[in-house]
Amino acid sequence: MSSTSQPVDLSQVPAVPWAWVDEHVYAAIRGCSVKVLQKERRLNIGCSFRRINGTTIRYKLGDITAFLESQPGGGGAAQPGNQLRRGPGRRRRSSP
């Protein structure tokens, strides 16, 4: 595993659902780091993948598309519950 990250040219990725890409391309598609993908694999969440020869990880573009479309858009609840309250609050103590 190398610690230097190379920029990924997504225009070179074939636009067919049966194409296989490595974790660097998938991370570029998702806009996250490879470490996030490694953590998701370890926790058994995220997109399905194939392990080749015990070490190489590949993702199918069709699976990536299906996974991303299954995720909620916006990532939040319909109405956020932690809004800042406005209006009268607790009464202040009066000083003697």
Residue 82 pLDDT > 70, yes or no? no
Q: What is the pTM of this model?
A: 0.65
Q: What pLDDT, on a 0 to 100 scale, did the predictor assign at position 40? A: 93
Average pLDDT, the chain: 80
Q: What pLDDT, on a 0 to 100 scale, did the predictor assign at position 77? A: 47
Strand partners, 57: 51
> What are the tens digits of pLDDT across the range 29-63?
888 999 999 999 999 998 999 999 988 999 999 99
Contact present, 23 and 37 (Cβ < 8 Å): yes
Residue 84 pLDDT > 60, yes or no? no
Query: Distance of CA 11 to CAs 3, 20, 50, Å?
Result: 24, 15, 23
